[in-house]
Amino acid sequence: MTPLSATVVTESIRGIEPPNEIWRTRARARLDTLTKPLGSLGRLEDLAAQLVAIRHEHLVLPLNKAVYVFAADHGITAEGVSAYPSAVTHQMVLNFLTGGAAVNVLARLHGVALHVVDVGVAADFDNIEGLLHHKVSNGTKNMLREAAMTDEELSRALLVGAQLANEAAVAGHTILAVGEMGIGNTTAASAITCAITGSAESLATGRGTGLDDAAHARKIAIVEAVLKKHFANSTSPHPLEVLRCVGGLEIAAMTGMILAAARNRVAIIADGFISTAAAALAVALEPKVEGYLIAGHRSEEPGHRLLLDYLKLTPILDLEMRLGEGSGAVLAMSIIKSAIGLYSQMATFTSAGISEASL
């Protein structure tokens, strides 16, 4: 029988097409008419052309931008894999709602709408306003002992992200950033990285929020044991099995959002290690998603580099950040805005009466 999660994925990507190469060529042609030496805006030109290819139009400002911060808890924290207690997930959700987290500041500065989604925090938020209430469960199970979630929970988490992406597209958003909050989720992202890319646990497992040497060594051993438990007999497990056994509810929701955003021709900005793990799963499920992805930054978490290589993405920023929340993705949106501002507002050689290249 086909698992429910596979049906959710099939529905989310129905009719998906890669970005349009005719529009990318049109964008390149327009960039070459602007008053600058050919190609001199470097990767800003690539970004503008990618967005035009995604949207099938000559984009102008303002871009309609949003960041979704998906929050959930992780059973694996029982093994002491994070420098901070699980309660911080819940506490940080409250901080997002009152506007005090790093991603709030950056979203305000750069005109990005911010949405906070409870997809599996182990705390009762009752009717707290401003939070998108989509709790699937009170966090994942301890993946060292059993699968992180059931297929039904995975399906619901994927749907949360997919439905929010569909709604965002209907509301006219052209760019979405995915962010997360979930103490313990760098351990899940490391396990996903190993399962999807075949990397060694010692290379894919970092210090997260700041483990010391001894705790870091223990975390590596735990990731090794987790992979052995779930995938000892399969060298390339199905991405949905990876998500279900060693993922997280917020990671599944981000995967669902990325798949559905691409189907809606909405660009997706990945943030750090955890959101890029969700992006890698989305691409493993549907390779056509690749052209809709932009890597906002490169995180200091060592596994992030492995995932960016796997996805063949060059990050926009490299500021030695290792925060998550969508912070790096939102910062990168300021560069993307600049790319489209230049694309749409610069004079052409003809309009400004400037001589074109003679050699």
Ligand X SMILES: O=C(O)c1cccnc1
Q: Could you list the active site residues?
A: 325
**Considering only 32-40, 162-170, 230-238, 297-305, which stretch makes contact with ligand X by CB under 6 A?**
297-305
In the chain, where do the E strands start and end? 65-72, 113-120, 131-133, 175-181, 267-270, 293-295
Residue 147, binding choice from ligand X, ligand RBZ, none, Cβ under 5 to 8 Å by partner class: none
Residue 271, binding choice from ligand X, ligand RBZ, none, Cβ under 5 to 8 Å by partner class: ligand X
Q: Please list the residues that pair with 67 across neighbouring strands.
A: 114, 177
The residue among 104 and 186 lying less far from ligand X, judged by its C-beta, is 186
Q: Which residues contact 297 (CB under 8 A, 6 or more apart)?
A: 271, 272, 315, 316, 317, 318, 319, 321, 328, 329, 331, 332
In 3-91, where do the E strands start and end? 65-72
- Render the burial of 179-193: b for 16+ CB within 10 Å, e for the rest: bbbbbbbbbbbbbbb
Residue 273, binding choice from ligand RBZ, ligand X, none, Cβ under 5 to 8 Å by partner class: ligand X
The residue among 175 and 222 lying less far from ligand RBZ, judged by its C-beta, is 222
Contact 124, 132 (CB under 8 A): no
Q: Which residues contact 220 (CB under 8 A, 6 or more apart)?
A: 201, 202, 205
* From candidates 84, 151, 225, 348, binder to ligand RBZ by CB under 6 A: 84
**How many alpha carbons fall within 13 Å on the CB side of residue 214?**
1
Q: Please list the residues that pair with 120 across neighbouring strands.
A: 72
315 touches ligand X by CB under 6 A: no
Contact code string over 325-344 relative to ligand RBZ, x by CB under 6 A: x-------------------
Residue 88, binding choice from ligand RBZ, ligand X, none, Cβ under 5 to 8 Å by partner class: ligand RBZ
301 touches ligand X by CB under 6 A: yes
C-alpha pair distances (Å), 181 with each of 31, 94, 102, 131, 209: 38, 11, 12, 13, 12
246 touches ligand RBZ by CB under 6 A: no
Helix axes 102-109 and 327-345, enclosed angle (nearest 10): 10
**Considering only 84-92, 236-244, 261-269, 347-355, which stretch makes contact with ligand RBZ by CB under 6 A?**
84-92
274 touches ligand X by CB under 6 A: yes
Q: Which residues, 166 to 225, sit near ligand X by CB under 6 A?
A: 186, 208-209
237 touches ligand RBZ by CB under 6 A: no
Nearest CA to 327 out of 18, 71, 112, 29 is that of 112
182 touches ligand RBZ by CB under 6 A: yes
The residue among 41 and 67 lying less far from ligand X, judged by its C-beta, is 67
186 touches ligand RBZ by CB under 6 A: yes
88 touches ligand RBZ by CB under 6 A: yes
Q: How far is the CB of 346 from ligand RBZ (least distance, A)?
A: 37
120 touches ligand RBZ by CB under 6 A: no
Residues that bind ligand RBZ (CB under 6 A): 82-84, 88, 92, 180-187, 208-209, 323-325
